[in-house]
Structure 1
């Protein structure tokens, strides 16, 4: 690890001094723990129901690319702190990198949601059914269930775009660090870091619109987790504050999460409205279908029952 840092460190001298802030460290540890815990209900909901019904693939694309860009942005902005770890104690090193851990966990947890979305995508929506001619009665083999659906093709393209963006961001960032050094050593690296931050902000501002629109159209929550959003939305302000307090961090590192928090709160409000509405109507939160076991008799069903009795 030391040799790698040596190769990525410019010849200019660095001043590495440990900076301890007990309150900031406590907040960062709390946020990292809370971030992981908040995503668990979403992961569990998809796995337990074995479906990712209701997710917008464009919402996931924008979210993955945005979080990836934000992750590389904070790595570049905190590169001096990463390099200084070779001359600091383990505890001081970990404390100086808490901001990187926070955004790295955010990227990993959201990317896992996208992976689960692909794994548990409804099988009946992956293929289109074969249409048999009306004049011929052919018995087609049961193994031929149809061609790949347009929706599933789009999801596969989106997965390729996410992987391609991750690879490209990694290669460009690595080359800049090897050739010219961190943001404080060369303006080009600083511009790339700023571009990633602004790009992440723009995508985050757009991210929730496809999901809000799809949830509004479906009028059901689907596989979205309300507990996850209830945990994450109030914690956004604290998360943003902790990033703002990081040495060397600027607005491009935290503006993404402020915009995301506001839009996530909008989606949460919409999901809560549909949840209670569907509960009253006896409609499934997952797919919007009527739940027979929740159909209670009313005055109309009693009248039908009286007619049956008279006919008897």
Structure 2
């Protein structure tokens, strides 16, 4: 993540472009890598027209983490953003590569969340009613009652949208009142809170998905190619932080935990995929229909 500007503030802010080729190439590579790594997941959901197998809590924690990270860097890089009016287009774009990286991560993961809701299996939005013993010939049909799984998904979507709205409003107000993080206590505190929240959510994100995938014994609409691209990338990112001068374990421990959990989920998906392929079980098949007397809880 590069911040190739040197700024000083006297009567007005003076912006000086600072070119760093290695940092620019790394940032550009990461931006392209973020987009490419998510494309298999987007394609799998759209092409199969189902988001079966996703845990809504996994998606909520992920979208809250990426949203918090996005507004955190907007606040911390605000002076750099404002410098763009006095720089060339190339220098401006180079100075904002860190913002672009975080924005792309936010956009790509948010799109997974949106696709999850759009392609949520229709057969699981309502509770299925089985015929009674006296009406065996009647077909199984859906009742008008919303299933627990769909209800939780809607609640999760509202919480994600609510967090986005609140983060935007508070950040916008902070920037209007204080104008940026430099020498402004409340903006720094808010940016710091968003950064910590992002790390905590990222560390917890994979637990509900691992549990759901283990319990379901099928990968559903999860994309193995996406995880195979992202898991090594997380490892390289952790290594780059570990060898960076002046950093300690607090700088990379959250990403290490995230990488380990992502590796566990990837391994679990590969095991279930190979097992189901051997048994002739389709990963995208819905679990057996639930009757109105059965629970449709979702982890």
| Class of the TM-score when normalised by the shorter of the 2 chains | 0.7 to 0.9
What is the TM-score with the length of structure 1 in the denominator? Answer: 0.79
Find the counterpart in structure 1 of residue 85 from structure 2. 86
SS, match of residue 15 in structure 1: strand
Aligned length: 276
Structure 1 moving runs of 4+ over 3 Å: 10-13, 130-140, 237-245, 250-259
Deviations 1:65-106 (A, max 9, x none): 111001101111111111111111111111111111001000
1-structure distance, mates of 2:194, 2:265:
25
Deviations 1:13-58 (A, max 9, x none): 3231111111111111111111111111001111111111110010
SS, match of residue 285 in structure 2: coil
Deviations 1:91-122 (A, max 9, x none): 11111111110010001000000111111111
Find the counterpart in structure 2 of residue 22 from structure 1. 21
Q: Offset of 1:255 from its aligned partner?
A: 6.5
Between 1:87-96 and 1:236-245, the stretch displaced more is 236-245
User: Greater helix percent: which structure?
Assistant: 1
2-structure distance, mates of 1:131, 1:17:
71
Deviations 1:138-197 (A, max 9, x none): 989x8x743211111111111111111101000000101110121113011101001001
Between 1:269-278 and 1:72-81, the stretch displaced more is 269-278
2-structure distance, mates of 1:16, 1:263:
42
Answering whether residue 40 of structure 2 is matched by residue 35 of structure 1, we say no
Between 1:215-224 and 1:268-277, the stretch displaced more is 268-277
What is the TM-score with the length of structure 2 in the denominator? Answer: 0.83
Choose which of 250, 253, 274 in structure 2 pairs with 1:276: 274
Between 1:51-60 and 1:276-285, the stretch displaced more is 276-285
User: Greater strand percent: which structure?
Assistant: 2
Between 1:69-78 and 1:258-267, the stretch displaced more is 258-267
Q: Offset of 1:129 from its aligned partner?
A: 2.4
SS, match of residue 110 in structure 1: helix
Find the counterpart in structure 2 of residue 202 from structure 1. 200
Unaligned 5+ segments in structure 1 are: 1-9, 290-312
Answering whether residue 62 of structure 2 is matched by residue 66 of structure 1, we say no
Unaligned 5+ segments in structure 2 are: 1-8, 288-299
Choose which of 228, 244, 252 in structure 2 pairs with 1:230: 228
1-structure distance, mates of 2:98, 2:106:
13
In the superposition, relative to structure 1, how do residues 40 and 136 fare at CA in structure 2: closer, same or farther (>3 Å)?
closer
Answering whether residue 116 of structure 2 is matched by residue 117 of structure 1, we say yes
In the superposition, relative to structure 1, how do residues 286 and 133 fare at CA in structure 2: closer, same or farther (>3 Å)?
closer
